[in-house]
Chain A
Amino acid sequence: MSETEIDMSRRSFFSTLLRKTADFAVRVADAQITEQEQNWIRPPFALDEAHFLSACTRCDACMQACPHGTINILSSRRGLRVAGTPVLDLLNNACHLCADWPCVAACEPGALKLPPREEEKPQPLPQLAEVRIDTQTCLPYSGPECGACASSCPVPGALIWNQCKPYIVPQLCVGCALCRETCIVEPKAVLVRSQYKMVTEKPALLEARD
């Protein structure tokens, strides 16, 4: 029997059929998850979306633990698979990057999990979202002085000022949206979207408060 020859045995047929079907199902599920996860922003230190979905027990403990009301629950309209899972409501409330991470500490099943940390080194910050400044609405870009967001950024060097205009350094910004919270322009001049968002996609949809 040469290597290219197909094994026509019944056992092989069924096992190949099963494997291919399973592979296909996993790929479809992965693609769906990848596409879906662009639509929301998970709480800090969430596992990757597939593992997160299987680990999260929809217990709401992280939402209860958040002192700033930043964590919301996805409604069943988003599909049964994700219904009841927590997301960050960064369009309305910023993540304050609490020092002791109460939401992570509250997560018993470990869907939110601090990565192993080297001794003597501070906990690295989680990457939450992609944030950028809308130069069409940000005041200093069109003339008037502002500076409302100047002292809002908790990450040194992530929000810098050049000629009275704010700039976000994408390499340093973790996407906590505190600058969006202090922004005084309506609609806000700081845009937030999922870090998994494809550039050409529709604007980010975040679960609104129910």
Chain B
Amino acid sequence: MSFLSPMSWDWMLLPAEGMMAHPGMPAGWVEMVLAGILFMVAWAIWIPVRSDPQHNSLSLAHLPVIGHVVSKVLVVPWLLLVLRIVVAAIFLLAIYAGLFGTPLPERNLATMLTWTIWWSGLVLAIFFVGSAWCAICPWDSLATWLVRRRLWRRGSETASLNLHVPKMLRSVWPALLLFVGMSWLELGFGVTVSPYATALLALLMVVLTTVSLAVFERKAFCRYFCPVGRTIGFYSELSPVALHPIDPDICARCTTLECYHGTADVEPCPTHLVMGRIKQNTYCISCDACSRSCPQQNVAWRLRNAGEEIIQAAHPRWDEAWFILGLLALTSFHGTTMLPAWERWMSTLARSIGDSGQLLWSFSISMGISILIPVTFFALMTLLTQRTIAAKPKYRRVFSALALSTLPLAFVYHLSHNLGHLVRESPGIGQVILNPLGSNTQTVMCTQVEIRHSLSAIQQDTIFALQAGLLLLGFWMAVRILRHRITRVLPNTQAATGGHILPMLTFIMAITLYNLWLLMQPMTMRM
């Protein structure tokens, strides 16, 4: 297994000077992941697809003690309001720190809070509480208070122009564009290491949200434009928690649809969903308007099988497929840029094209290539899959359906990557909270960073174990989604065979192995 040992890659993995790098996953865990993958591949090819997967779900409102609390929490408006005010206050403090505090990223609240705690922790939060972040999102809170001028009650109809979103924008293309743009700003422009730029980016997002709220009806930004919201939306399809009717029969008989129209006090559904009827929660932002407006109090958090939504309920769509592929490509790309070798590749490219010191062109070109490679590979594998199906379904249909199976790969890599960041970088947050602006501070020395990292609450080995487990979980989910989604593309009587799933299985395996390889490498830390 010499190939697996990080030692054999030394020539390209020595950390650049002055950078802090962390050891990658040791060979023992890697071998375990590989064995798991081989076992699942054999299972996927030899065991026939069961036509109807089981539905196990449990409304939290039905649990003995928690149920009472959950139903109460979802109906009273003040609890969420308090949370929103607290989060918005911290957000404003971070912006203030970014604008007027120290330019040292590891000493400033803006960068520490935004990139180390929030952006890393967000993906972890989706795993446990679905799209709950959207309910307390400070961009939306500030925009709502500014435009509607109400703390929590329904705003007046005249507060916004309430225009329909133009038909060409009613998709996730704008969000995908913003997501690619934000990744470029984050990694290429280096927003993550500049408190001032971080604060400006935060302000820009508030401005975008506010303008969208003032011009378009309901919360068009959350539904169509927000890159973070849509990322959360797609990942939350894999989450075991979602808002859902407690008793579907009550909703089936309902003709008044308060969950959609709102009441005199409560806002209508901000993302145009009829909570009583939906099966797919992608666009739900957990704002609890439906649970408060429902006269029967029939909406609550529900536990379900992780991945059930994307296997059964999700409708494959062309634009959503591209967003998912974008997530997949950008998460792996994110990991690639943290390889020590990335710096060397960038400087080689910059020399050959005569780029300026900022390396913006070199970065943009490399980013484009890094996105193109997995997308082209996916498109090719879709073509092969389409060829194996005798009935020749439309290419777009196969493409959209199969893209769903790549979502868990993006999610688990994102999770394991962020887990590393969060655990290793977050111990410094205590000092930053005590001194948000970082006044009179020096840059953190390498030795101090090592001490910080060793102070982390979770042992190194535990992180590796979690990362290995997550990769296996993602692979398992991807294979399951793939098997069910292919069966849906086939004509009614036909069952999916090993031949049908082989091309896409190859893709899933390749991406997982690449992500595994990324996790094996020593990772450069930001701070």
Contacts and interface: CB of A to CB of B under 8 A. Distances in A.
Interface string A162-202: 00100000000000000000101010000000000000000
Contacts, number: 38
B196 interface: no
A205 interface: no
Interface in A138-167: 143-148, 150-152, 164
A151 B255 contact: yes
Among A144, A148, A164, residue most surrounded by chain B Cβ atoms (within 10 Å): A144
A148 B277 contact: yes
Given A184-B260, A186-B164, A147 B253 contact: no
Nearest to B257: A148
B274 A164 contact: no
B315 A148 contact: no
A147 B274 CA distance: 7
Interface in B247-279: 252-255, 257, 260-261, 272-274, 276-279
A146 B317 contact: no
B460 interface: no
A182 B279 contact: no
The secondary-structure label for the interface of chain B is loop
A150 B252 contact: yes
A145 B255 contact: no
Contacts of A186: 164
Given A146-B277, A147-B277, A182 B255 contact: yes
Given A164-B315, A184-B272, A186-B164, A150 B257 contact: no
A145 B315 CA distance: 8
A62 to B, nearest CB: 24
B283 interface: yes
B317 A151 contact: no
A143 B277 contact: no
Contact of A151 (B164, B254, B279, B315): B254
Contacts of B456: none
A184 B257 contact: yes
A146 B278 CA distance: 7
Contacts of A144: 272, 283, 315
A150 B260 CA distance: 14
Contacts of A182: 255, 257
Given A164-B315, A182-B255, A147 B278 contact: yes
B253 A148 contact: no
Contacts of B280: 145
A143 B272 contact: no
A150 to B, nearest CB: 6
Interface size class of A (residues with CB under 8 A): 10 to 19
Nearest to A143: B317
A45 to B, nearest CB: 24
Interface string B263-305: 0000000001110111110010000000000000000000000
A150 B257 CA distance: 11
A150 B278 CA distance: 11
Contacts of A151: 252-255
A148 to B, nearest CB: 5
Interface string B141-182: 000000000000000000000001000000000000000000
A133 to B, nearest CB: 16
Nearest to B217: A186
A203 to B, nearest CB: 21
Contacts of A150: 252, 277
A146 B271 CA distance: 12
Contacts of A184: 257, 260-261, 272, 274
A145 B276 CA distance: 11
Contacts of B272: 144, 184
A146 B283 CA distance: 12
Contacts of B257: 148, 182, 184
A145 B252 contact: no
Contacts of A145: 273, 277-280, 315
A150 B252 CA distance: 7
Nearest to A139: B272
Nearest to B277: A147
Contacts of B276: 147
B259 to A, nearest CB: 10
Contacts of A164: 279, 315
Contacts of A146: 274, 277
Contacts of A148: 257, 260, 274, 277
Contacts of B164: 186
B255 A152 contact: yes
B191 to A, nearest CB: 33
A187 to B, nearest CB: 10
A118 to B, nearest CB: 31
Contacts of A147: 274, 276-278
Nearest to A136: B167
A161 to B, nearest CB: 10
B522 to A, nearest CB: 43
Contacts of A143: 315, 317
A147 B279 CA distance: 10
A139 to B, nearest CB: 8
A177 to B, nearest CB: 14
Interface in B118-154: none
A164 B253 CA distance: 17
Contacts of B274: 146-148, 184
Nearest to B252: A151
B474 to A, nearest CB: 26
A156 to B, nearest CB: 14
A151 B250 CA distance: 11
A145 B281 CA distance: 10
Among B257, B260, B276, residue most surrounded by chain A Cβ atoms (within 10 Å): B257
25 contacts: A143-B317, A144-B315, A145-B273, A145-B279, A145-B280, A145-B315, A146-B277, A147-B274, A147-B276, A147-B277, A147-B278, A148-B257, A148-B274, A150-B252, A150-B277, A151-B252, A151-B254, A164-B279, A164-B315, A182-B255, A184-B257, A184-B261, A184-B272, A184-B274, A186-B164
By Cβ-Cβ distance, the 7 closest A-B pairs, closest first, are A147-B277, A143-B317, A148-B274, A145-B278, A145-B280, A151-B252, A184-B260
Given A145-B273, A164-B315, A184-B257, 14 more contacts: A145-B278, A145-B280, A145-B315, A146-B277, A147-B274, A147-B277, A148-B257, A148-B277, A150-B277, A151-B253, A151-B254, A152-B255, A184-B261, A186-B164
